[in-house]
Amino acid sequence: MYVVMVYDVGVERVARVLQVGRRYLTWVQNSVLEGEISPAQLARLKAELKRVIEPTDAVRFYLFPSREALRVETLGSSKNEPTQFL
């Protein structure tokens, strides 16, 4: 599946959430990661994030069956393009 993860967390946890997310996905923009991931990897990612975030934080996952099902439009420059493949 293809996953887009976005997060809004306390400043003291931003680096840690990014570090966990980058183990599974590609960082593409501030607080946004995306890439191909298996259901088992997604479950591990969520479990790791639950140990890092606080109740006031938010992490959202947008799930798509494949990269082809996602249409992305960018204004301005892209920071990084996902290149991970399973």
Residues in the annotated binding site for Mg(2+): 8
Q: What is the DSSP string of 40-77?
A: HHHHHHHHHHHTT--TT-EEEEEEESSGGG-----SS-
Place of tokens 């920071």: 79
| Residue ranges of the binding site | 8
